[in-house]
């Protein structure tokens, strides 16, 4: 059976990641660490055969993808289907603020109610359907090839669940690290997991200090 190899990457770090502030569809840029992480993941993928790069249009993902495009020479295409989950009125708030200001909403969110959507946002069911549809649409254009998809934590969470056949409400036991390398295989039967949360390229602190000295 023909298959498409997918390298899935969460964008580099932003200031709002550090503050645990919900970004959703708000367009927050990478911070200094995030820019460094983008460069490191780009170096790690520089020698791999990559046919195409697809990215969320939000600047934190797009900037990460641009670094990979520069290092690999692969064409870069934006796709709104790879955007983070829309968190509606949660966007711009920290986890602590949501708990204090919207306790009932926070409870349903924390329990991963699959049909709950923050006011103006998406439910987990809607997000899963969007990601599954987008990935299938892109992957089937690249059978027997390897592509990179740069997206967001919520998107990567869905990809892991789809690849491991885990329920949408199952507690998360896997990492969603910024700029980690995650590998999946897509066939017409769906996704399967090849490797997850590889951060070896981010472990060289000496190189980081030298880069930003």
Single out the catalytic residue among 13, 25, 84, 142: 84
Q: Which helix (H) or strand (E) holds 2?
A: none
Query: Chain-wide mean pLDDT for the chain?
Result: 95
What's the pLDDT band for 208 if we cut at 50, 70, 90?
low
Q: Which of 11, 25, 62, 142 is catalytic?
A: 11
Residue 205 is predicted with a pLDDT of: 56
Mean pLDDT to the nearest integer, 98-118: 95
Mean pLDDT of 54-60: 98
The CATH class given to the 4-86+126-211 domain equals: alpha beta
Q: Residue 197 above 50 pLDDT?
A: yes
Query: Helices then strands (H, E): number in the chain?
Result: 8, 6
HEC readout, the chain: CCCEEEEEEECCCEHHHHCCECCCCCCCCECHHHHHHHHHHHHHHCCCCCCEEEECCCHHHHHHHHHHHHHHCCCEEECHHHCCCCCHHHCCCEHHHHHHHCHHHHHHHHCCCCCCCCCCCCCHHHHHHHHHHHHHHHHCCCCCCEEEEEECHHHHHHHHHHHHCCCCCCCCCCCCCCCCEEEEEEECCEEEEEEEEECHHHCCHHHHHHHCC
- Residue 1: predicted pLDDT: 79
Predicted confidence (pLDDT) per residue in 17-53, tens digit:
999 999 999 999 999 999 999 999 999 999 999 999 9
pLDDT digit string, tens, across residues 84-97: 999 999 999 999 99
DSSP state of 201: G
Task: Give pLDDT, residue 212.
Answer: 36
213 band by pLDDT with thresholds 50, 70 and 90: very low
User: Which pLDDT band holds residue 211 (cuts at 50, 70, 90)?
Assistant: very low
11 is catalytic: yes
Give per-residue pLDDT as tens, 140-156: 999 999 999 999 999 99
Q: Residue 115's pLDDT band (boundaries 50, 70, 90)? A: very high
């Amino acid at each position: 059976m023909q298959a498409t190899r997918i390298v899935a990457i969460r964008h580099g770090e932003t200031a709002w990641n550090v503050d645990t502030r919900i970004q959703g569809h708000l367009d927050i840029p990478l911070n200094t660490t995030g820019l460094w992480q983008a460069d490191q993941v780009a170096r790690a993928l520089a020698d791999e055969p990559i046919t195409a790069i697809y990215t969320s249009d939000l600047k934190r993902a797009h900037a990460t993808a641009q670094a990979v495009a520069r290092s690999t020479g692969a064409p870069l295409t934006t796709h709104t289907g790879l955007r983070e989950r829309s968190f509606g009125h949660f966007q711009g708030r920290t986890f602590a603020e949501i708990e204090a200001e919207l306790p009932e909403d926070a409870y349903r969110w924390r329990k991963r109610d699959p049909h709950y959507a923050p006011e103006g946002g998406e439910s987990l069911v809607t997000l899963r359907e969007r990601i599954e549809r987008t990935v299938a649409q892109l992957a089937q254009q690249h059978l027997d090839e390897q592509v990179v998809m740069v997206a967001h934590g919520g998107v990567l969470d869905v990809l892991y669940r789809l690849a491991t056949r885990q329920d949408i409400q199952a507690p998360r036991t896997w990492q969603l690290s910024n700029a980690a390398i995650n590998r999946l295989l897509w066939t017409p039967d769906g996704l399967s997991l090849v490797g997850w949360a590889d951060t070896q390229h981010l472990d060289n602190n000496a190189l980081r200090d030298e880069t930003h000295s």
